[in-house]
Amino acid sequence: MDNSNKPDRAPCDEGAVVATTRATEDLKGSEGEEKVLNDGSMGWPNLHEVGEELVSLGRLVWPIMITSFLLYSRSVVSMLFLGRLGDAQLAGGSLAIAFANITGYSVLKGLAMGMEPICGQAYGAKKWAVLGQAFQKTLLLLLLAAAPISLLWLKMDSILLYLGQDKEITAQARDYLLFSLPDLLAQACLHPLRIFLRAQSLTRPLTFCATFAILLHAPINCFLVSYMGLGVRGVALASAWNTININLGLMGFLLLFDDVLKPWAGWASFPGDLREWGHLISLAVPSAVSVCLEWWWYEHGPVYPGGPRIGGPPPGPGQARRECGPLRVCGLWASGLSLHRGGAACVGRMFTDEPKILALTAAALPIVGFCELGNCPQTAGCGVLRGSARPTVGANINFSSFYLVGLPVAVLASLRLGLGFLGLWLGLVAAQASCAGLMMYTVRNMDWEAQAERAEKLTGVAGEEEKDDLEASLLAKATE
């Protein structure tokens, strides 16, 4: 749920990508001690090595964890203001956010992840110009992708009305999406900028910028929503303002510090690299598919409560979405308190006073917590696969787990077994368990010695004959 509005599941994910980039340099000890078994798999580390790695990862990951919390807090603040505007505004805003996540934010985030293995391995090989070239190409790729997404958002009301959505809620959702277009463009810049800095293990600047932006977010909402009276439009503009503030802070950091690599490095040779875009796209598209497959599953869940009402007659066309909006918000925010059963009611009342929604939130909370236990190894494994330039494997695992296992279980449990909303979360448990198992099996059986050799080839140090392998041609440009 993100970047923008999906809970950013990145603490494990982003740290895993950075750690994987570094992993191939650590396959041998400092004294040449072999850490790879004869079959190419990794041997079990001792406790001292585990402790050292935990300390190293801790320094890297804690800013990412804080940043993820701050970025997700933006959507929570936005939902609080939407809830205070009324049920129709909250339902319309929730519908717009789901539509934006499915058609826009998930696509941009996934496409941007195609530059992660390029930047990480280029930085390890000290091919500095490649980082700037990868940033520039990814930025242009995301801006190009934002064009058709924007056109789709402009036609969003016609699509929803055709599907039978309530006119009042659709009007609120349309206003939210139209005024979210600046945020779409700002996100297209933020994603490659985050990856560019993270490849250099620069995670604290984003934390500071996100802290500054979230401190301004509530006052900006008050100004636009309450003082200016913009309503739903003001909430959307405030979210865009938040992303723009982060972008401005990061660009200021790059301009102020001379010892930091600049994303505009190598710009002069950029037009000549257009023919090499296929290598970036070959990584970006599978990454986008992997992200979207998981992200969309979370957005599909609230569709089922929009059908027959649990324990009552079928609602009107708009009533299902009115109830679904607060339920989605409470459920997602409750996932952050998934290990604290008593927090559900308190969190739920921040968004709604509807007794049925509060009861469903409290009942689903233990299942959500169990899902999060499986999510950690899953996202870590997915980060390993992306960091080693194997996003297609992650996409296949996500599709198999969420759509061949999780979705059938969710439909069976919620509709055939009559478990309703809880059945949807049981489907997620099945998806998370199968995904985590497949990820760990894949990572455990990776040939790390072959991956180390492949990383050398990808960074252009294994000879001219290997430059056709994935992004090797991109990396070789820096040496010309």
Nearest to 176 by CA among 101, 89, 111: 89
pLDDT tier for residue 273 given thresholds of 50, 70 and 90: low
pLDDT tens per residue across span 3-42: 444 444 433 455 455 454 444 444 444 444 444 444 444 5
The residue ranges of every structural domain in the chain are 10-457+465-471
- In the chain, pLDDT over 70 holds for what percent of residues? 69
Phi, psi of 309 (to 5 degrees): -75, 140
DSSP state of 28: B
- 57-61 contacts, C-beta under 8 A, 24 or more apart: 57/15, 57/19, 60/15, 60/18, 60/19, 60/201, 60/203, 61/11, 61/14, 61/15
Question: Which segment of 122-131, 147-156, 192-201, 212-221 scores lowest on mean pLDDT?
Answer: 122-131
Tell me, what's the pLDDT at 330? 42
Does the model's pTM come out above 0.75?
Answer: no
Residue bearing the bigger pLDDT, 13 or 280: 280
pLDDT tens per residue across span 371-408: 777 677 777 777 777 777 777 887 888 888 888 888 88
Tell me, what's the pLDDT at 31? 40
Tell me, what's the pLDDT at 126? 77
Most confident of the ranges 209-213, 269-273, 443-447: 209-213
Instruction: Tell me: pLDDT of 324 over 70.
Output: no
Q: How far is it, in rounded angstroms, from Cα 279 to Cα 468?
A: 9
pLDDT tier for residue 274 given thresholds of 50, 70 and 90: low
| Average pLDDT score over the chain | 73
